Amino acid sequence: MDRKLVKQRSDYKWLLERSGKMRVDGIIYASEALIAEMDNKVAEQIRNVASLPGIVAASFAMPDAHWGYGFCIGGVGAFDPGQDGIISAGGVGFDIACGVRTLHTGLKIQDIGHRKADIADKLFRRIPAGVGSTGKLKLTPQKLDEVLTGGAAWAVEQGFGVPRDLRFIESGGRMRGADPAYVSKEAKKRQEEEMGTLGSGNHYLEVQQVVEIYDEPVAKAFGIELGDIKISIHCGSRGLGHQIGTDYLKQMTLAAKSAGLELPERELACAPLDSQVGKSYLAAMRSGINCALANRQILTHLVREAMAEILPKADIQLLYDVSHNTCQEEQHSIDGKKKKVFVHRKGATRAFGPGSPDLPEEYRTTGQPVLIGGTMGTASYILVGGPQSESLSLGSSCHGAGRQMSRTAATKQWHGKDVARKLEQQGILIRSASLRGLAEEAPGAYKDVSEVVEVSHAAGLATKVAKLVPLICVKG
């Protein structure tokens, strides 16, 4: 990014001063190195979001920000319904409620050493992954409507888990205000056979080992010890969420035109929160969130079944489940007043600090677990929302590494077989439905997640608790 576009306010805070049509400032949290790597388009997208009606506080970008659709990936923007605030399909993205769920296993590294290949094979057979994969569950339209209002709570009622699981999922595993009547029949049709599937691209299921603890008391509260085996799942709302995004992007674009709403870029399609399109999208998007939560819950059930067959002593419990593509109604302090606002997080993770009533009792004194996914060959991190995150970024942090190389360039540089072999030499077993997919997802195609995490930590958005490295990775 051209340094002339931003003013440095502190080591990790950069300002895009309000100008032109901007209603608020833009704020980027990044190091000098990360700012240098960012595209100028990120600044343009931050400014565009800052110009949308009803935006409050600032238009934020997290340390992993990169060029996205309308909002930058890593963008956060909150809108006040009392000030003609908007809701944006582009501000959520096509993979509604894509997120990370991390599971305890009750196992240590020595428990799985000799069974690693068996575990990898079993998980790969059990978890549907890749293009065109289907789940075992076939849902009727009526059952699907129950999923869309019930979320992970529905899945638990069907036997895919236990009630305790729900405590450790955002919104208690069920997003209120969902209404399947606003989800198209096409979106529902796409989901008929896709419940309990991982997807493809950067989605994964990883068996990980905790290799470093940075904050002992918080790690203890989260149930993390050195040498622990954890399992992390990264996926979203599958075909249903993608279709909701597609449907409402078009509706919002056409409605904006007829309402005279000037959009700086078409992907920023949005609608007033109190308009019919805005309300419809909110109800549909919340249905998409429930679909994602149910999907990750069913995948957890499949993990439990698979692990029980190989290592019966495994005790799979949720550490936490957090989405990084959402819009949620939250209370924040805006200009000294508590206000209900709609916070868009596009490729950004909620990072509520200690005391938040939205957190389960177990985490209320520590703050929220913030789950940051890495790539097949690098580390993932667990952070905790800090007391300052609310005032710094409306309680938000980074979400992952972000690509540094296009898919086309990656396939020119690497072959899938070589990627898998190299990772195996490092002790990481890869199971994937697609060799080309592996090449496109090669670790070298991504930025270094550690730098993004260090900056989030240093800026106070969320602080480091533990580092996990992959042992097994199942890819679509």
| Residues identified as active-site | 399
Residues 79-108 binding another protein (CB under 8 A) are 93-95
By beta-carbon proximity to another protein, the closer residue of 188 and 467 is 188
Residues 220-259 binding another protein (CB under 8 A) are 239, 242-243, 245-246, 249-250, 253-254
By beta-carbon proximity to another protein, the closer residue of 105 and 200 is 200
Residues 256-285 binding another protein (CB under 8 A) are 265-267, 269
By beta-carbon proximity to another protein, the closer residue of 54 and 93 is 93
Q: Of the candidates 13, 23, 167, 407, which one interacts with another protein according to CB under 8 A? A: 407
Asked if residue 130 binds another protein (CB under 8 A), the reply is: yes
* Count of residues of this chain found to bind another protein when the rule CB under 8 A is applied: 50
By beta-carbon proximity to another protein, the closer residue of 267 and 330 is 267
State the minimum distance, in angstroms, from the CB of residue 392 to another protein. Answer: 25
Q: Of the candidates 26, 99, 128, 476, which one interacts with another protein according to CB under 8 A? A: 476
- Side-by-side strand order, sheet with 325-334: 7-10, 13-16, 26-29, 55-66, 73-79, 337-346, 325-334
The region of 24-32, 110-118, 276-284, 435-443 touching another protein under the rule CB under 8 A is 435-443
- Nearest Cα residue to 51 out of 91, 73, 18, 28: 18
Q: Of the candidates 272, 386, 437, 443, which one interacts with another protein according to CB under 8 A? A: 437
Asked if residue 138 binds another protein (CB under 8 A), the reply is: no
State the minimum distance, in angstroms, from the CB of residue 447 to another protein. Answer: 10
The region of 24-32, 227-235, 399-407, 455-463 touching another protein under the rule CB under 8 A is 399-407
Asked if residue 301 binds another protein (CB under 8 A), the reply is: no
Instruction: Report the first-to-last Cα separation within the chain, whole angstroms.
Output: 33
Residues 16-55 binding another protein (CB under 8 A) are 39
Task: Give residues in contact with another protein (CB under 8 A).
Answer: 39, 66-69, 73, 93-95, 130-132, 134, 186, 189-190, 192, 194, 199-201, 239, 242-243, 245-246, 249-250, 253-254, 265-267, 269, 402-409, 411, 433-437, 440, 476
